[in-house]
Amino acid sequence: MPYPRARDDFTSVGFDDFTAVNGRDQLFSPHSTGLLCPTIVTGFPFLFLGQTLDLVAGDSLVGMRELVTIARVFPVAGGVTWPVERTVVTPGWHLPGGWATFSLTSEPTTAPCRRQGPQDGPSCAFRDATGPAFLYEALSVPALPGRPGYLGMDGVTYTPPPMIGTVEYEVRDVQDPWEGQTWGKLDLPVDRPTRFRAYIQVMQVNVTPPVLAGILPTDVRLTGLVEEDRYWQLGGSTVGYWRVGVALKVKTRAGAEREVLVS
């Protein structure tokens, strides 16, 4: 049996520069749930690998949830900034002109073979990775970036690599929220050793919300909007995509289900 326990939970995380400086735990981990999005607006989507998952004959991929957060960064004392996040929970919601696409691909399982790239670093990998990462084919980062690694990219050069494998399932924007109680139903049975990859494409934007006639951003009548639109109205063009991830549910050939939390 490939999975000796009836249920296993696996959680993947990504590098978080704010956690690294201000929120380390007792193990001094610089990681948090989800993969951080570069805040620079480039006019083309960023590509993330949410997770790779190797299954064997008799297993099946049966569910997926999506994680997208938006944030506004506030200045605090001492010249420090701090992000205030909101998780997107309204199915199909996105910032105008922006979006997040979640794609599951498959290919026959092979031994991992990955080339090191010039900008590889925490949660950042050239072309492919064995776990959650921001992916690049070409990437330029200034000598003195404002944030570490790919988060400090200058936007002059960024080319995403092609996704690997055959696309088996794809959704645009959040359809089954990370914090929800339901799973997006999948039925992807496996008849041979298969590697699944969960990709996330994100189009970053900084869009000013429209002026609502006779209503100020602080007006209580904004309660008629969904939570994400209210947050956008209050934050304006400073609000952007902040963090993404996916969670996958697998049914093993032994009949047990396990959740693979991918972030």
pLDDT of residue 17: 60
pLDDT of residue 16: 66
pLDDT of residue 143: 83
Q: Which two tokens stand for residue 141?
A: 């980062």
pLDDT of residue 236: 85
pLDDT of residue 8: 37
Q: What's the burial of 45, exposed, middle or buried (CB within 10 Å: 0-12/13-18/19+)?
A: middle
pLDDT of residue 6: 34
pLDDT of residue 3: 40
Q: How far is CA 206 from CA 94, 121, 241, in A?
A: 12, 26, 9
Taking the C-alpha atoms of residue 52 and residue 58, their distance in angstroms, rounded to an integer, is 18
pLDDT of residue 11: 43
pLDDT of residue 81: 73
Which residues make Cβ contacts (< 8 Å) with residue 181, sequence separation at least 6?
none
As averages over each run of 10 residues, the pLDDT of the chain (263 residues) reads 37 58 56 86 93 89 91 76 88 94 93 80 90 93 83 90 95 88 83 94 90 63 76 88 91 66 53
Taking the C-alpha atoms of residue 200 and residue 105, their distance in angstroms, rounded to an integer, is 11
pLDDT of residue 13: 58
